[in-house]
Protein backbone atom coordinates (compact mmCIF):
# COMPACT_ATOMS: atom_id res chain seq x y z
CA UNK A 1 0.00 0.00 0.00
CA UNK A 2 1.32 3.45 -0.90
CA UNK A 3 1.36 5.94 1.89
CA UNK A 4 1.72 9.63 2.57
CA UNK A 5 3.54 11.39 5.39
CA UNK A 6 2.34 13.86 7.99
CA UNK A 7 4.59 16.74 8.99
CA UNK A 8 5.34 16.56 12.72
CA UNK A 9 7.96 19.37 12.75
CA UNK A 10 9.60 21.82 10.37
CA UNK A 11 12.75 23.40 11.85
CA UNK A 12 12.28 26.48 9.63
CA UNK A 13 8.53 26.80 10.27
CA UNK A 14 7.80 26.99 6.52
CA UNK A 15 5.28 24.11 6.47
CA UNK A 16 2.40 23.81 8.98
CA UNK A 17 2.33 20.98 11.49
CA UNK A 18 -0.09 18.27 10.33
CA UNK A 19 0.41 18.99 6.62
CA UNK A 20 0.06 15.84 4.51
CA UNK A 21 3.12 15.35 2.31
CA UNK A 22 2.80 12.91 -0.63
CA UNK A 23 5.42 10.25 -1.20
CA UNK A 24 7.06 12.16 -4.07
CA UNK A 25 9.65 14.90 -4.57
CA UNK A 26 7.96 17.04 -1.86
CA UNK A 27 8.74 14.31 0.68
CA UNK A 28 12.43 14.26 -0.27
CA UNK A 29 12.64 18.07 -0.23
CA UNK A 30 11.13 18.16 3.29
CA UNK A 31 13.66 15.54 4.44
CA UNK A 32 16.55 17.56 2.97
CA UNK A 33 15.37 20.57 4.97
CA UNK A 34 15.38 18.53 8.22
CA UNK A 35 11.62 18.13 8.62
CA UNK A 36 10.26 15.29 10.77
CA UNK A 37 7.69 13.20 8.85
CA UNK A 38 5.68 10.18 9.99
CA UNK A 39 3.97 7.70 7.60
CA UNK A 40 0.15 7.63 7.33
CA UNK A 41 -2.22 5.82 4.99
CA UNK A 42 -3.85 8.20 2.43
CA UNK A 43 -7.42 7.20 3.29
CA UNK A 44 -6.88 7.85 7.00
CA UNK A 45 -6.28 11.55 6.53
CA UNK A 46 -9.99 12.13 5.91
CA UNK A 47 -11.48 10.48 9.03
CA UNK A 48 -12.24 12.06 12.41
CA UNK A 49 -9.78 9.94 14.41
CA UNK A 50 -6.36 11.27 13.54
CA UNK A 51 -3.91 8.75 12.09
CA UNK A 52 -1.17 10.46 14.09
CA UNK A 53 -0.75 12.38 17.33
CA UNK A 54 1.74 14.87 18.74
CA UNK A 55 2.13 15.69 22.42
CA UNK A 56 3.95 18.88 23.45
CA UNK A 57 5.45 19.39 26.89
CA UNK A 58 5.89 23.17 27.21
CA UNK A 59 9.40 23.89 28.51
CA UNK A 60 10.05 20.17 28.19
CA UNK A 61 10.05 17.23 30.56
CA UNK A 62 13.51 16.75 32.06
CA UNK A 63 15.39 13.56 31.37
CA UNK A 64 17.79 11.95 33.81
CA UNK A 65 21.04 10.07 33.52
CA UNK A 66 19.14 7.11 34.99
CA UNK A 67 16.70 5.30 32.67
CA UNK A 68 13.04 6.12 33.32
CA UNK A 69 9.75 6.90 31.60
CA UNK A 70 9.54 10.43 30.21
CA UNK A 71 6.73 12.07 28.30
CA UNK A 72 3.47 10.43 27.44
CA UNK A 73 1.36 9.84 24.39
CA UNK A 74 -1.60 7.86 23.15
CA UNK A 75 -2.72 6.67 19.73
CA UNK A 76 -5.74 4.90 18.29
CA UNK A 77 -4.47 1.57 16.92
CA UNK A 78 -6.15 -0.98 14.67
CA UNK A 79 -5.46 -4.73 14.55
CA UNK A 80 -3.69 -6.17 11.53
CA UNK A 81 -1.01 -3.49 11.37
CA UNK A 82 2.18 -4.24 13.16
CA UNK A 83 4.29 -1.11 13.63
CA UNK A 84 4.20 2.36 15.16
CA UNK A 85 6.47 5.16 13.95
CA UNK A 86 7.64 7.73 16.49
CA UNK A 87 9.78 10.83 16.86
CA UNK A 88 10.72 12.95 19.85
CA UNK A 89 12.54 16.27 20.05
CA UNK A 90 14.94 16.66 22.97
CA UNK A 91 16.33 20.12 23.72
CA UNK A 92 19.75 20.65 25.33
CA UNK A 93 22.03 23.60 26.14
CA UNK A 94 24.40 24.89 23.44
CA UNK A 95 27.61 22.89 23.52
CA UNK A 96 26.16 20.02 25.55
CA UNK A 97 27.29 16.55 24.55
CA UNK A 98 24.55 14.52 22.84
CA UNK A 99 24.58 11.53 25.14
CA UNK A 100 21.77 9.12 25.95
CA UNK A 101 19.59 6.27 24.72
CA UNK A 102 15.79 6.47 24.34
CA UNK A 103 13.10 4.22 22.87
CA UNK A 104 9.33 4.17 22.58
CA UNK A 105 7.60 1.78 24.94
CA UNK A 106 4.06 0.98 26.08
CA UNK A 107 3.27 3.08 29.15
CA UNK A 108 1.68 1.45 32.21
CA UNK A 109 1.25 4.87 33.88
CA UNK A 110 -1.75 6.29 32.01
CA UNK A 111 -4.85 4.62 33.43
CA UNK A 112 -7.54 4.20 32.18
CA UNK A 113 -5.71 3.79 28.86
CA UNK A 114 -4.34 0.37 27.96
CA UNK A 115 -0.57 -0.03 27.87
CA UNK A 116 0.52 -0.51 24.25
CA UNK A 117 2.06 -3.95 23.67
CA UNK A 118 5.34 -2.46 22.48
CA UNK A 119 8.88 -1.63 23.38
CA UNK A 120 10.02 -4.77 25.15
CA UNK A 121 12.88 -5.16 22.65
CA UNK A 122 15.79 -2.98 23.86
CA UNK A 123 17.39 -3.06 20.40
CA UNK A 124 14.83 -0.48 19.22
CA UNK A 125 16.54 2.38 21.04
CA UNK A 126 18.13 5.46 19.53
CA UNK A 127 21.58 6.57 20.70
CA UNK A 128 21.42 10.36 20.74
CA UNK A 129 25.07 10.67 19.66
CA UNK A 130 24.16 8.81 16.45
CA UNK A 131 20.85 10.56 15.71
CA UNK A 132 20.70 11.82 12.13
CA UNK A 133 18.73 15.00 12.84
CA UNK A 134 20.22 17.47 15.31
CA UNK A 135 21.11 21.12 15.78
CA UNK A 136 23.01 23.28 18.27
CA UNK A 137 20.23 23.00 20.87
CA UNK A 138 18.22 19.91 19.91
CA UNK A 139 18.33 16.31 18.79
CA UNK A 140 15.48 14.33 17.21
CA UNK A 141 15.24 10.66 18.16
CA UNK A 142 13.03 8.65 15.80
CA UNK A 143 12.25 5.07 14.91
CA UNK A 144 9.67 2.35 14.44
CA UNK A 145 8.61 -0.36 16.86
CA UNK A 146 6.63 -3.58 16.57
CA UNK A 147 3.18 -3.05 18.11
CA UNK A 148 0.43 -5.55 17.32
CA UNK A 149 -2.97 -5.20 18.98
CA UNK A 150 -5.87 -7.65 18.92
CA UNK A 151 -8.57 -5.04 19.59
CA UNK A 152 -8.95 -1.53 18.21
CA UNK A 153 -8.59 1.21 20.80
CA UNK A 154 -6.49 3.98 22.26
CA UNK A 155 -3.18 2.75 23.65
CA UNK A 156 -0.65 4.50 25.92
CA UNK A 157 3.02 5.12 25.07
CA UNK A 158 6.02 6.92 26.58
CA UNK A 159 9.69 7.35 25.88
CA UNK A 160 11.92 5.26 28.09
CA UNK A 161 15.62 5.78 28.59
CA UNK A 162 18.10 8.40 29.67
CA UNK A 163 19.63 11.54 28.20
CA UNK A 164 22.18 13.92 29.67
CA UNK A 165 21.04 17.55 30.15
CA UNK A 166 17.98 17.21 27.90
CA UNK A 167 14.30 18.10 28.08
CA UNK A 168 11.70 16.29 25.95
CA UNK A 169 9.85 19.03 24.03
CA UNK A 170 7.42 16.80 22.10
CA UNK A 171 6.59 13.23 21.12
CA UNK A 172 4.80 12.28 17.86
CA UNK A 173 3.28 8.89 16.93
CA UNK A 174 1.64 7.22 13.92
CA UNK A 175 0.56 3.67 13.09
CA UNK A 176 2.20 2.48 9.91
CA UNK A 177 -0.19 1.78 7.03
Closest CA to 120 of 104, 100, 101, 102: 104
Q: According to the model, what pLDDT value does residue 80 have?
A: 87
With a cut of 70, which residues of the chain have pLDDT below it?
Answer: 1-2, 42-49
Nearest CA-CA partner of 36 in 138, 145, 158: 138
HSE toward the beta carbon, residue 27, CA cutoff 13 A? 13
The CA-based dihedral angle spanning residues 66, 147, 54, 73, taken in that order and rounded to the nearest 10 degrees: -50
pTM of the predicted protein model = 0.93
Residue in 147, 9, 146 with CA at minimum distance from that of residue 90: 9
Please report the domains of the chain, with CATH numbers, ordered by start residue: 47-175 (2.60.120)
Amino acid sequence: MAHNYVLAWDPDGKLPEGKIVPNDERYYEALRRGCVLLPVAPEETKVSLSPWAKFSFGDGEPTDEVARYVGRGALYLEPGRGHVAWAGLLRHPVGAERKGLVRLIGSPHQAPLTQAPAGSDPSGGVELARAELFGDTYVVAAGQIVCQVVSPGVYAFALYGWARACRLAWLALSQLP
